[in-house]
Amino acid sequence: PTHDQVLNFGAGPAKIPIEVLQTAQSELLNYDNTGMSVMELSHRGKTFGKILADAKQNLTKLLNIPDNYEILFMQGGGTTQFSAIVYNLLAAKGKPDAPVDYCVSGSWSQKASEEAKRLGANVNIVFNTKKSTGAYTSVPPQSEWKLSGSDAAYVYYCDNETVHGVEFNSIPDVDSSVPLVADMSSNILSRPFDVSKFGVIYAGAQKNIGPSGVTIVIIRKDLLTPLKSAAEIPASGLVTPQLLDFKTLADNDSLYNTPPTFAIYMSGLVFKHMLEKGGVEAYTEANDRKARKVYQVIDNSKIYKAPVATEARSRMNIPFRIYPETLEAEFLKGAEARNMVQLKGHRSVGGIRASIYNAMGEDGVDALVAYMKEFEGQHQA
């Protein structure tokens, strides 16, 4: 099958707009008359410098990023940020034993909280829905949260849990002196939001942006803290490794060492493409409609079931089960036969998961919905 025939519902690496891939293809052997591929350009040269500057400028436009924020392009994926956040924000707080608050609403925020613990931070669990309700299928009302207040070095949450399909429907309201940190790996650029409410936002590119290999970090400049030596910090385990240090990256415009140049270039193409399509506002309407269509089929069905509480349902990743569960393998097989791929749920939860990021068109969702209805018609109890 060709790229436009396959409907890729993968959670990440995920679908990239065909127009972007075609641009990359047309430029692959000769970028901007250099006679070189982007992959072959020096990261310190003028041509790549413009790619980097344009990517930053276009992301700034898309998210309306205020002047007092810095955009960093880092490596190591979302997982590296689990560690980087701990080091950088404890350094910014200047108190290695300050509490760090973690909202645990799914496996990614769980992993982030475990890493903070492993690094020796004083972790306070604000809530953990698996512990309190038995499953990651909701976000509790803020009245039930156990925040540390102004003592905290930061409050951490994952805006969209990719595996469990749990998404926050509003920005947490935390003490204004405490930086709010959000993992937006799987829903950045899916809806507009107020960047100024955050200390740090980060997102691996491989879901709603482009290829894997680059992580976007948006950080408020006053949180950039000079790197310290072990001698200056009693808990020397919290001395920030050089390449995880946000200030080192910021001071060097993400060019302290060789950055993932091709992934930055591809992300930049996606930013440009999104602006041409009307920016984040245009996508958010389509995303709401797309998700509504899928949940509607599930909610009107006797065989499909979405486990997540209505108000916490993700617009990006829609996990569901089919009953009896023996039908799930057959559903996936039928989907493959229709060129609908990567619909299998995460190995930790099973079932089905339809990831419908920005790059998944409404026609793709319509095709999925039609197949779901057809499948139910054939298997009604």
In the complex, minimum distance from the CB of residue 50 to ligand PLP, in angstroms, rounded to a whole number: 27
Q: What is the DSSP letter of 212?
A: T
| Catalytic option among 183, 245, 290, 344 | 183
- For residue 254, the SS3 value is coil
Provide the CA 300 distance to its chain's centre, in angstroms.
30
If the CB atoms of residues 162 and 287 are measured against ligand PLP, the closer one turns out to be: 162
Tell me how far, at minimum, the Cβ of 25 lies from ligand PLP, in Å.
25
The alpha-helical segments, DSSP class H, found in the chain are 18-27, 46-63, 77-93, 107-118, 129-133, 246-251, 261-276, 279-299, 327-337, 362-379
C-alpha dist (Å) from residue 357 to 4, 40, 60 = 16, 30, 20
The residue among 184 and 327 lying less far from ligand PLP, judged by its C-beta, is: 184
Name the pairing type of β-strands 166-167 and 99-104. Answer: unpaired
Of 158 and 280, nearer to ligand PLP (C-beta) is: 158
Catalytic residue among 56, 93, 108, 245: 108
- CA dihedral (87, 251, 108, 140) positive or negative: positive
For residue 178, the 8-state DSSP code is S
183 flagged as catalytic? yes
Bond preceding residue 140 cis, omega within 30 of 0: no
Confirm if 104 and 130 have CB atoms less than 8 A apart.
Answer: yes
The residue sitting closest to ligand PLP, measured at its beta carbon, is 77
> Backbone dihedral region of 342: left (phi > 0), alpha (psi from -120 to 50 degrees) or beta?
left
Interface residues with ligand PLP (CB under 6 A) are 12, 77-79, 108, 158, 162, 183, 185-186, 204
Query: Quick one: 47 or 79, whose CB is closer to ligand PLP?
Result: 79
Q: Of the residues 207, 247, 272, 344, which is catalytic? A: 207
Least distance CB 72 / ligand PLP (angstroms): 15
Instruction: Please tell me the distance from the alpha carbon of residue 185 to that of residue 170, in angstroms, as a whole number.
Output: 16
Residue closer to ligand PLP by CB (options 113, 301) is: 113
Nearest approach in angstroms of CB 12 to ligand PLP is 5
Nearest to 16 by CA among 28, 4, 26, 27: 4
By beta-carbon proximity to ligand PLP, the closer residue of 84 and 372 is 84
Active site residue 32: no
CB of 56 to ligand PLP, least distance (A): 20
Minimum CB–partner distance for residue 355 and ligand PLP (Å) = 10
Residue 118 and residue 339: Cα distance in Å, rounded? 43
Would you name the residues annotated as active-site residues? Answer: 108, 183, 207
